[in-house]
């Protein structure tokens, strides 16, 4: 009996120890939202790790996360998000706990009297997915800018994203053109991403919360484009406090207001408008002259100088009246308006309505007064008459989206989205004279160009954390797109007249599978039924990430991509190229691409080294040209030419992520070659966006209360087609005519591009206000970067003019925020 | 650290700012220009070969080519042209067995500097009611408004 009691007594503590030592068999799900501590804004794609494990996840676009099947009991989460201090959150880990709200504090760009030392002031961050980059719009304020902080211009500082010239904020990602990128703002597809002829992007930084960029290999959730994805998430506004702020610079003024609604919602409005039609600052004149081709270098004499602006690809030229416009002071302005209403209907339901409208307006109309028409008159016209030019161009976007987000259960989260997006580009120009006794119209020439897209989209997306090792994402999209394109001359002559519409339905399914501890695989399939061709297009996608010892990671991706709407360049050697959007159909095949990407990275909390190689096969590359006619009965559809292309390259990135001095250096070696049967006798030629070598150095230094930043960019010269030599032919009547022989397409290179920008910025704090002040100098050493080369062929010898981009350009910005 | 960074930036700026620009005219390779007229009922005398010339040269005459092999082919018969007198680049057919008639299909072949250039043409009928002199040319109206 005593032995039994002893054994029992001895056994009890052993049993108790055994019970205490065994992990809890009960599993719980930890779910919640990550938010900005000050504004209450949810933070998308924040990284969350369960401390002491390698299990982690990231928040979705609405800031929601879930970690499934973790042992019940106390645990700690570590949360990181670019531009914010890392948060460490202890939890009880109880079953059926309420959603966790994790509030994160912004990293201070500077605090008056406090020197920032070891904080992480990253502007860019590589995500786990290969070729995915995230940037902090807030941190962009410290980088040099021209006129104002610009998201897309800042993205051009990233490896693999090229800026072809200063006059474009479009993103040329790994050899792709801007129209090959899917640009989403709160789910709305944005077709025109720039203001001011491409100099500034169409997105007000104050209205954007997060920017995620896929340079390639993007997952099955995204489709309809062949190059990259830029996903912008708009701010929702503070649920708790009223906020207001404004900003003014040498180009525009902007304001933002955030109004809480019953602590369950918010309404945010931001507005930006240029003052360029009222006050034409030196900066505006510098940019306008640069974009209009009036910055040039040549050896021409004053008598030989050609007159008038000559707008470059993407925008209309001075037109047939260019010679008359050199004394024009055009009226130009741009604006954009963002409005977003967000309301939490229940703990599991969120509604939001987002509105965007942006427009540019250029008016070059002028009264030419009395003109003398030489060389004989058309019957019924006066040789001396009053002439009037009416020349107005406007372009922009209008979009609205409504979204319902629902948490069905801990593991299932859905978004339902209804969106409408309208892109328009309208240009009307006319020249008329009045004369005679009754002052009637005697001469009248006019042309009009009108390109419009109307895009209606209904989609739903669902994330299902099926188990710890499997996250399933699936969804569907149904859209109707209408595209109108009209080129007319003299009201009745139709050069191009198309009205197309397309209905497409897409489905996708993707599984992110943590196969074993260091290896994560993602498999996806997207399928699209496209109405005009009545075909199904299958797009398999796959990617992996393998974590290796020593902070190394190996990544890769492969996928097929299709594009059903493209922006076509209308080649016009006389008046400058124009771009327009067109839907694919049986005559204009959908474009397609196949991506292969592989990369290796080494990353610590303070350093990042990343190497990534890519290879893209392109099909259905389209150009529109009237120079090459298939036959005497050429119709407009015969003026489209389809070809293929290959873009390949390798990118190197070295980033210092912390400390008083931080930044990155990148080098890209890449080529883009096209092949068209009709050009170059079918031989390959470099695309205009080919930049063999690109170097970018970006540095930021905390100098007391000030922040000093600089960027240096170098790129190989752009390819161009050049006249090479000339010859004369004696005609049958004894006269002689000269001809110019043009070389192979894009066989020559402009001089290399490089420039250095610097900026000084600082925040000032008062009790109720905060001030941002910044000085930037663009192109500090005033290098003449050649934008394009212009040849005057009717003189002997021929005159060559190099049209250059912006020279040294200082700017000032001033912002104020109500605390 | 700050000073060294600043010195590096200034040095880089000086280096790049001092770079001289290249000539904008691209180097050209000489191309062969073939100018040939065949007149029905006339001997072949108006075939001229020359080189192209640089864009920067103020002239209207390219360098003549006098050492090419020029051949006309008609109905599977070969007629070799010879250089005309002087450094003119002109070629003519010396024989009398080559006739040029309306509707004839001719193929010209030029060999020079390891290049071969070919072209074909069909002799058109001569224009009617046309007269030409050294200082004037008259033709019938082709349309009326």
Upstream peptide bond of A797 is cis (omega within 30 degrees of 0): yes
- Which residue in A701, A733, A780 is closest to B13 by CB distance? A780
pLDDT confidence bin for A658, thresholds 50/70/90:
confident
DSSP output for A179-246? GGEEEEETTEE-S--EEGGGTEES--GGGEEEEEEE-S---TT--S-SSEEEEEEE----SSS-EEEE
Q: Could you say which DSSP state residue B60 is in?
A: S
Least Cα separation, residue B45 to chain A (angstroms): 13
- Which residue in B31, B50, B137 is closest to A733 by CB distance? B137
Alpha-carbon distance values, A739 to A573, B38, B48 (Å): 16, 22, 16
Q: Are A211 and A155 in contact (CB under 8 A)?
A: yes
Q: Quick one: residue A812, left, alpha or beta (phi over 0 = left, psi -120 to 50 = alpha)?
A: beta
Is the CB of residue B20 less than 8 Å away from at least one CB of chain A?
Answer: no
Give the residue from chain A lying closest to B18, CA to CA: A783
Say yes or no for a CB contact (<8 Å) between A781 and B60: no
pLDDT confidence bin for A243, thresholds 50/70/90:
confident
The two tokens of residue A718 are 């752009």
pLDDT at residue A740, rounded to an integer: 83
Least Cα separation, residue A663 to chain B (angstroms): 13
Indicate the SS3 state at residue A143: coil
Is the CB of residue A731 less than 8 Å away from at least one CB of chain B?
Answer: no
Is the CB of residue A742 less than 8 Å away from at least one CB of chain B?
Answer: no
The two tokens of residue A501 are 């519409």
Mean pLDDT of A199-219: 89
Is the CB of residue B133 less than 8 Å away from at least one CB of chain A?
Answer: no
How far is it, in rounded angstroms, from Cα B114 to Cα B119? 17
pLDDT at residue A3, rounded to an integer: 39
Which of A659, A709, A726, A741 to substitute to test the interface with B, most B CBs within 10 Å? A726
HSE value, Cβ hemisphere, 13 Å, CA-based, for A593: 31
Give the residue from chain A lying closest to B56, CA to CA: A797
Per-residue pLDDT for A21 more than 80? no
By C-alpha distance, which of A639, A635, A629, A634 is closest to A568? A639
Instruction: With beta carbons under 8 A apart, name residues in chain B contacting A712.
Output: 9, 12
pLDDT at residue A108, rounded to an integer: 65
Complex ipTM, two decimals?
Answer: 0.76
Instruction: With beta carbons under 8 A apart, name residues in chain B contacting A751.
Output: 21-22
Give the residue from chain B lying closest to A730, CA to CA: B35
Least Cα separation, residue A112 to chain B (angstroms): 21
Say yes or no for a CB contact (<8 Å) between A789 and B24: yes
Say yes or no for a CB contact (<8 Å) between A712 and B12: yes
Say yes or no for a CB contact (<8 Å) between B22 and A710: no
Say yes or no for a CB contact (<8 Å) between B35 and A729: yes
By C-alpha distance, which of A43, A45, A18, A280 is closest to A147? A280
Which of A665, A704, A725 to substitute to test the interface with B, most B CBs within 10 Å? A725
HSE value, Cβ hemisphere, 13 Å, CA-based, for A720: 22
Q: Are A524 and A540 in contact (CB under 8 A)?
A: yes
How far is it, in rounded angstroms, from Cα A672 to Cα A618? 10
| Residue pLDDT, tens place only, A576-586 | 456 788 899 87
- Sign for the CA dihedral angle at A60, A64, A68, A71 comes to positive
Least Cα separation, residue B24 to chain A (angstroms): 7
The distance in angstroms from the start CA to the end CA of chain A is 77
| Residue pLDDT, tens place only, A219-236 | 999 999 999 999 999 998
The distance in angstroms from the start CA to the end CA of chain B is 82
By C-alpha distance, which of A361, A421, A363 is closest to A397? A421
pLDDT at residue A298, rounded to an integer: 54
Interface of A with B in 265-304 (CB under 8 A): 297
| Better-predicted residue by pLDDT, B117 or A201 | B117
Q: Are A105 and A52 in contact (CB under 8 A)?
A: no
Which burial class, exposed, middle or buried, applies to A654 when counting CB atoms under 10 A from its CB (0-12, 13-18, 19+)? middle
CB proximity list for A635: less than 8 A, separation 6 or greater: none
pLDDT at residue B23, rounded to an integer: 58
Say yes or no for a CB contact (<8 Å) between B30 and A725: yes
Alpha-carbon distance values, B48 to A724, B60, B63, B71, B87 (Å): 22, 15, 11, 13, 11
Question: For chain B, what is the radius of gyration of the CA atoms?
Answer: 27
- Which residue in B13, B22, B55 is closest to A756 by CB distance? B13
How far is it, in rounded angstroms, from Cα A592 to Cα A22? 55
Q: Are A194 and A200 in contact (CB under 8 A)?
A: yes
Instruction: With beta carbons under 8 A apart, name residues in chain B contacting A741.
Output: 31, 52
Give the residue from chain A lying closest to B30, CA to CA: A725
By C-alpha distance, which of A692, A745, A739 is closest to A717? A692
Instruction: With beta carbons under 8 A apart, name residues in chain A contacting B137.
Output: 733
Q: What is the mean pLDDT of chain A?
A: 82
pLDDT at residue A724, rounded to an integer: 84
Say yes or no for a CB contact (<8 Å) between B56 and A796: no
Q: Are B119 and B107 in contact (CB under 8 A)?
A: yes
Q: How many CB pairs under 8 A join A and B?
A: 82
Per-residue pLDDT for A503 more than 90? yes
Is the CB of residue A414 less than 8 Å away from at least one CB of chain B?
Answer: no
Say yes or no for a CB contact (<8 Å) between B24 and A800: yes
Query: Percentage of chain A with pLDDT > 70?
Result: 80
| Residue pLDDT, tens place only, A449-499 | 889 999 999 999 999 999 989 999 999 999 999 999 888 876 666 777 889
Is the CB of residue B37 less than 8 Å away from at least one CB of chain A?
Answer: yes
Interface of B with A in 59-118 (CB under 8 A): 60-62
Instruction: With beta carbons under 8 A apart, name residues in chain A contacting B61.
Output: 728
Say yes or no for a CB contact (<8 Å) between B57 and A733: no
Q: Where are the beta strands (DSSP E) in B5-130?
A: 32-37, 46-51, 53-54, 69-74, 77-83, 90-92, 105-112, 115-122
Mean pLDDT of A713-739: 86
Least Cα separation, residue A734 to chain B (angstroms): 9
Q: Are A646 and A594 in contact (CB under 8 A)?
A: no
Instruction: With beta carbons under 8 A apart, name residues in chain B contacting A783.
Output: 16-17
pLDDT at residue A443, rounded to an integer: 64
Which burial class, exposed, middle or buried, applies to A539 when counting CB atoms under 10 A from its CB (0-12, 13-18, 19+)? buried
Say yes or no for a CB contact (<8 Å) between B61 and A741: no
| Better-predicted residue by pLDDT, A804 or A545 | A545
Instruction: With beta carbons under 8 A apart, name residues in chain A contacting B11.
Output: none
Which of A727, A748, A793 to substitute to test the interface with B, most B CBs within 10 Å? A727
Per-residue pLDDT for A18 more than 70? no
Is the CB of residue A701 less than 8 Å away from at least one CB of chain B?
Answer: yes
CB proximity list for A292: less than 8 A, separation 6 or greater: A309, A310, A311
pLDDT at residue A641, rounded to an integer: 81
pLDDT at residue A1, rounded to an integer: 43
- Which residue in A699, A782, A802 is closest to B24 by CB distance? A802
Per-residue pLDDT for B140 more than 80? no
Say yes or no for a CB contact (<8 Å) between B21 and A733: no
Is the CB of residue B17 less than 8 Å away from at least one CB of chain A?
Answer: yes
Indicate the SS3 state at residue A468: coil
Q: Are A542 and A552 in contact (CB under 8 A)?
A: no
Instruction: With beta carbons under 8 A apart, name residues in chain B contacting A115.
Output: none
| Residue pLDDT, tens place only, A585-640 | 877 889 999 999 999 999 998 999 999 999 999 999 887 765 554 444 444 555 67
Is the CB of residue B138 less than 8 Å away from at least one CB of chain A?
Answer: no
| Residue pLDDT, tens place only, A258-270 | 999 988 899 999 9
How far is it, in rounded angstroms, from Cα A93 to Cα A73? 5
Per-residue pLDDT for A413 more than 50? yes
Say yes or no for a CB contact (<8 Å) between B22 and A751: yes
Q: Could you say which DSSP state residue B13 is in?
A: H
Q: How many C-beta atoms surround the C-beta of residue A124 within 10 A?
A: 25
Q: Could you say which DSSP state residue A54 is in?
A: S
Interface of A with B in 652-671 (CB under 8 A): 661
Say yes or no for a CB contact (<8 Å) between A781 and B16: yes
| Residue pLDDT, tens place only, A327-378 | 456 778 899 999 999 999 998 999 999 999 999 988 877 776 666 555 444 4
Give the residue from chain A lying closest to B6, CA to CA: A710
- Which residue in B2, B24, B50 is closest to A727 by CB distance? B50
Is the CB of residue A376 less than 8 Å away from at least one CB of chain B?
Answer: no
């Amino acid at each position: 009996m005593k032995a039994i009691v002893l054994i029992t007594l001895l056994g009890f503590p052993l049993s108790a120890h055994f019970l205490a030592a065994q992990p809890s068999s009960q599993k719980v799900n930890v779910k919640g939202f990550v938010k900005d501590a000050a504004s209450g804004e949810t933070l998308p794609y924040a990284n969350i790790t369960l401390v002491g494990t390698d299990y982690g996840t990231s928040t979705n676009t609405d800031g929601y996360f879930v970690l499934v099947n973790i042992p019940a009991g106390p645990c700690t989460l570590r949360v990181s998000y670019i531009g914010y201090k890392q948060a460490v959150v202890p939890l009880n880990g109880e079953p059926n706990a309420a959603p966790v709200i994790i509030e994160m504090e912004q990293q201070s760009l500077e605090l008056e009297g406090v020197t920032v030392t070891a904080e992480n002031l990253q502007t860019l961050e590589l995500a786990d997915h290969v070729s995915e980059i995230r940037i902090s719009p807030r941190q962009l304020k410290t980088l040099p800018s021209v006129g104002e902080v610009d998201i897309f211009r800042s993205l051009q500082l990233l490896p693999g994203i090229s800026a072809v010239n200063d006059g474009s904020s479009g993103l040329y990602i790994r050899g792709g053109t801007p129209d090959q990128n899917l640009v989403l703002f709160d789910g709305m597809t944005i077709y025109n991403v720039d203001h001011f002829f491409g100099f500034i992007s169409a997105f007000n930084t104050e209205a954007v919360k997060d920017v995620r960029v896929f340079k390639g290999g993007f997952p099955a959730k995204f489709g309809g484009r062949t190059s990259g994805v830029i996903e912008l998430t708009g701010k929702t506004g503070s649920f708790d406090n009223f906020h207001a702020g404004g900003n003014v610079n040498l180009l525009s003024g902007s304001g933002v207001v955030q109004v809480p609604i019953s602590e369950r919602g918010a309404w945010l409005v931001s507005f930006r408008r240029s003052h360029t039609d009222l006050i034409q600052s030196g900066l505006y004149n510098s940019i306008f002259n640069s974009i209009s081709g009036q910055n040039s270098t040549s050896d021409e004499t004053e008598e030989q100088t050609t007159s008038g602006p000559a707008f470059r690809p993407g925008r209309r030229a001075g037109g047939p009246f260019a010679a008359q416009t050199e004394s024009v002071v055009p009226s130009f302005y741009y604006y954009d308006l963002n409005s977003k209403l967000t309301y939490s209907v229940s703990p599991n339901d969120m509604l939001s309505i987002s509105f965007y409208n942006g427009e540019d307006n250029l008016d070059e109309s002028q009264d030419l007064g009395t003109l003398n028409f030489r060389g004989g008159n058309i019957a019924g016209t006066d040789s001396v008459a009053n002439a009037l030019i009416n020349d107005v161009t406007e372009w922009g976007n209008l979009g609205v989206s409504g979204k319902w987000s629902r948490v069905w259960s801990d593991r299932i989260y859905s978004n339902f989205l209804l969106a409408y997006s309208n892109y328009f580009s309208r240009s009307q120009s006319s020249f008329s004279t009045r004369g005679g006794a009754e002052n009637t119209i005697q001469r009248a020439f006019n042309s009009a160009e009108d390109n419009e897209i109307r895009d209606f989209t209904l989609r739903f997306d669902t994330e299902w954390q099926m188990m710890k090792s499997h996250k399933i994402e699936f969804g569907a999209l149904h859209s109707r797109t209408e595209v109108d394109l009209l080129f007319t001359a003299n009201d009745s002559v139709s050069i191009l007249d198309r009205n197309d519409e397309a209905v497409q339905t897409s489905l996708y399914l993707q599984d992110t599978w943590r196969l074993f501890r260091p290896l994560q695989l993602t498999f996806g399939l997207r399928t699209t039924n496209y109405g005009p061709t009545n075909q199904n297009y299958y797009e398999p996608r796959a990617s992996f990430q393998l974590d290796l010892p020593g902070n190394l990671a190996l990544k890769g991706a492969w996928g097929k991509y299709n594009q059903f709407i493209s922006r076509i360049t209308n080649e016009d050697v006389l008046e400058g190229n124009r771009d327009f959007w067109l839907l694919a159909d049986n005559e204009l095949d959908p474009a397609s691409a196949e991506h292969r990407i592989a990369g290796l990275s080494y990353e610590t909390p303070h350093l990042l080294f990343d190497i990534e190689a890519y290879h893209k096969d392109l099909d259905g590359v389209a150009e529109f040209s009237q120079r090459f006619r298939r036959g005497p009965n050429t119709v407009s559809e015969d003026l489209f030419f389809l070809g293929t292309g290959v873009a390949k390259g390798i990118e190197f990135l070295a980033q210092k992520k912390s400390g008083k001095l931080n930044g990155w250096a990148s080098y890209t070696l890449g080529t883009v070659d096209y092949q068209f049967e009709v050009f170059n006798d079918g031989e390959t030629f470099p695309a205009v966006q080919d930049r063999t070598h690109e170097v970018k150095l970006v540095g930021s230094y905390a100098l007391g209360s000030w922040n000093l930043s600089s960027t240096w960019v170098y790129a190989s010269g752009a390819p161009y087609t050049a006249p090479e030599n000339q010859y004369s032919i004696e005609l049958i009547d004894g006269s002689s005519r000269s001809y110019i022989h043009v070389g192979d397409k894009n066989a020559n290179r402009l001089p290399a591009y490089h420039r250095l920008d610097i900026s000084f910025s600082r925040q000032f704090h008062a009790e109720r206000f905060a001030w941002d002040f910044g000085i930037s100098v663009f192109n500090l050493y005033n290098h003449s970067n050649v934008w394009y080369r212009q040849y005057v062929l009717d003189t002997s010898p021929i005159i060559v003019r190099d049209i250059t981009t912006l020279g040294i350009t200082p700017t000032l910005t001033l912002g104020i925020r109500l605390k | 650290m700050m000073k060294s960074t600043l010195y590096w930036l200034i040095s880089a700026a000086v280096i790049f700012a001092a770079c001289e620009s290249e000539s904008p005219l691209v180097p050209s390779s000489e191309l062969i220009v073939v100018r040939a007229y065949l007149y029905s009922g006339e001997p072949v005398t108006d075939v001229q070969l020359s080189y192209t010339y640089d864009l920067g040269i103020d002239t209207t005459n390219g360098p003549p080519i006098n050492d090419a092999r020029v051949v006309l082919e008609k109905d599977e018969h070969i007629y070799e042209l010879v250089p005309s007198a002087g450094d003119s680049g002109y070629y003519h057919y010396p024989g009398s067995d080559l006739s040029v008639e309306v509707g004839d299909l001719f193929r010209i072949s030029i060999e020079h500097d390891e290049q071969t250039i070919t072209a074909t043409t069909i002799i058109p009928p001569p224009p009617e009611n046309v007269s030409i002199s050294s200082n004037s040319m008259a033709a019938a109206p082709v349309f009326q408004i």
